[in-house]
C-alpha cells in the first residue's frame, strides 16, 4: 500500500493549493523511490513520459496563438469570406470539413481540432454561410450550429484516424486482440476501418443536408411571420 503514497501527496498538495507541477513531480519521484526504482530510472521514466506526450505541449502552445488571431478578427474574416460564396451553405461547409478531416487523419496529419479549427474557423464559416442564405440566426439556431460543427470534427477524426496503419488506435486494437489470442496485422485493421470511415461520411452528409433543409424551413417561417405582421 505504501506505493500509493503518491496519491496522498497529490491530494495534500492540491488541498494546500501548492504548485501543481511541483506536487505531481514530487509524487512521481516518491512513488518511484518506494517502488524500488533508482533516481536515474525515475528521471528516465519522467523524460520518456514527456516525450510520449510532447504533442500535448504543442497543443497548449497553440492556444495563445488562436486567441491572438481571434482578437484580431479571424472569426469575422472567415465569416465574411464564406458569405462571398453565394452557393455555399452551412451543411456544405461541414461536409467539406468532414472530408478534409478524414483524409488528414488517414494520413496522420495533425490538422483540425475543436479549439484550433472548429471554434475560430469552421463555426464562423458555417454561420456566415447560413446567414447569407437565410438571414440572421437566433440564439437557439446558433447553439444547434455549434453542435453540428463540433460533430464534424468528431466524425472526421474518430473514423479517419484508424485508416492510418501506425495510429495509436490501430496499435491498441492489434495489441488487445493479440492478448486474447487473435492475431491480426495493423494493415488488416486499417483496411477494416475504411468502410466505417465511408459510412461515417455518408451519415454526416445526410445529417448536414437535413440541417440545411431545417434552416431553410425556419427561414421561410420567419419570413411568413413578418409578412403577416
Dump pLDDT digits (tens) for 24-75. Answer: 888 888 888 888 888 788 878 777 776 665 555 555 555 566 566 566 666 6
197-204 long-range Cβ contacts below 8 angstroms, 24+ apart: 197/102, 197/106, 197/159, 197/160, 197/162, 197/163, 199/159, 200/98, 200/102, 200/155, 200/158, 200/159, 201/98, 201/99, 201/102, 201/155, 201/159, 203/155, 204/94, 204/95, 204/98, 204/151, 204/152, 204/155
Question: pTM of the predicted model, to two decimals?
Answer: 0.65
Residue 110 confidence (pLDDT): 73
Would you give the DSSP letter of residue 111?
Answer: -
Q: What is the domain partition of the chain in residue ranges?
A: 2-52, 65-228
pLDDT band at 177 (very low <50, low <70, confident <90, very high): confident
- Sequential DSSP letters for 130-158: HHHHH----HHHHHHHHHHHHHHHHHHHH
Dump pLDDT digits (tens) for 89-110. Answer: 889 999 999 999 999 888 888 7
Amino acid at each position: 500500500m505504501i506505493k500509493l503514497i503518491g496519491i496522498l501527496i497529490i491530494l495534500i498538495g492540491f488541498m494546500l493549493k501548492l504548485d501543481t507541477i511541483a506536487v505531481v513531480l514530487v509524487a512521481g519521484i516518491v512513488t518511484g523511490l518506494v517502488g524500488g526504482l533508482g533516481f536515474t530510472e525515475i528521471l528516465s521514466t519522467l523524460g520518456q513520459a514527456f516525450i510520449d506526450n510532447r504533442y500535448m505541449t504543442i497543443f497548449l502552445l497553440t492556444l495563445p496563438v488562436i486567441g491572438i488571431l481571434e482578437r484580431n478578427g479571424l472569426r469575422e474574416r472567415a465569416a465574411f469570406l464564406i458569405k462571398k460564396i453565394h452557393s455555399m451553405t452551412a451543411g456544405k461547409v461541414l461536409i467539406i470539413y468532414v472530408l478534409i478531416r478524414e483524409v488528414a487523419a488517414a494520413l496522420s496529419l495533425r490538422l483540425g481540432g475543436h479549439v484550433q479549427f472548429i471554434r475560430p474557423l469552421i463555426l464562423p464559416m458555417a454561420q456566415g454561410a447560413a446567414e447569407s442564405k437565410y438571414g440572421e440566426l437566433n440564439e437557439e439556431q446558433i447553439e444547434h450550429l455549434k453542435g453540428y460543427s463540433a460533430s464534424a470534427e468528431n466524425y472526421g477524426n474518430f473514423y479517419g484516424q484508424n485508416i492510418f496503419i501506425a495510429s495509436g488506435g490501430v496499435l491498441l486494437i492489434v495489441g488487445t486482440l493479440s492478448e486474447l489470442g487473435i492475431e491480426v496485422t495493423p494493415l488488416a485493421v486499417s483496411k477494416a476501418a475504411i468502410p466505417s470511415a465511408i459510412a461515417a461520411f455518408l451519415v454526416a452528409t445526410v445529417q448536414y443536408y437535413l440541417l440545411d433543409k431545417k434552416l431553410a424551413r425556419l427561414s421561410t417561417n420567419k419570413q411568413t411571420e413578418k409578412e403577416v405582421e
